[in-house]
Amino acid sequence: MITLSELRTRDLFTFFNLAEGERSQTEQGLVKIWLKPGGFQQYIDIELLVRPEDDMLLEAHLILDRTFVGGRENINPFAKDIAKSFIHDLLTTEEQQVASQLVNAIWYLEGTKNHVVHIRPPSNIVIDSNIRSCLDTYIGERQSHMIVLSESQIHLMNETVHDGRRLLHILVKSV
C-alpha cells in the first residue's frame, strides 16, 4: 500500500473531496481516521488505519450502502466511480497494473436495465473467475471474495446490519 501523504495527492482524495471526520488511536498505537466525501455522505464511509511513525496505510475500508450501489438491474455510476478509485488509488504503481482488470471491470459494469453510452468503449477487459466473483460480490449476489496481490489484499464483502440495512464493504489491506 501507500502512505497517507501519497493518498492525499491522488484522485480518490481530490476528486471526491474527502475530508477527515475524526481520529483516534488504537491500543496498538496505530491511528484510525474516518473520512467523508463531499457528496452522498449518507451512503459512504471510509476508514483508514495508519502507522504513525512512517505514515504508512495498513488498511483502508470503504463502506457503501447497498441502496446506493444498486444490484444486477441498476448499478449506480457514482458508486462504481468511488469503488474503482478506492481500489486503484490505495495500491502501489506495480499493484495498480495487476488490479487494473478488476478496476476496469467495476468501471464498465452495467446493470441489465442501465442504458449506458460509452464515449470510449471498454477494451481488453478480461473477466476471469476471480474478477467475476468480485463483480458478483459487488452487485450483491455473492457474500464475499478476496484477491491477494504481492503486497496487498482486496476483499469485497456484503453485510446486513442489525437495523436491516445492507452494506458493501471494500477492504484494501497490507499483507
Sign (positive/negative) of CA torsion 103, 70, 134, 83? Answer: positive
| CA separation, residue 21 to residues 28, 71, 113 (Å) | 21, 29, 36
Number of Cβ atoms within 10 Å of the Cβ of 26: 9
pLDDT tier, 127 (very low <50, low <70, confident <90, very high otherwise): confident
What average pLDDT does this structure show over 10-25? 95
Average pLDDT, the chain: 93
What average pLDDT does this structure show over 141-168? 95
The predicted structure's pLDDT at residue 29:
96
The predicted structure's pLDDT at residue 120:
74
Residues 119, 140: Cα–Cα separation, whole Å: 27
Tally of residues, the chain: 175
Tens-place pLDDT, residues 20-49: 999 999 999 999 999 999 999 999 999 999
Q: Which domain holds residue 148?
A: 4-174
Tens-place pLDDT, residues 62-96: 999 999 999 989 999 999 999 999 999 999 999 99
Q: Is the predicted pLDDT of residue 119 greater than 90, yes or no?
A: no
What average pLDDT does this structure show over 121-143? 89
**Overall number of domains in the chain:** 1
The predicted structure's pLDDT at residue 41:
94
The predicted structure's pLDDT at residue 146:
97
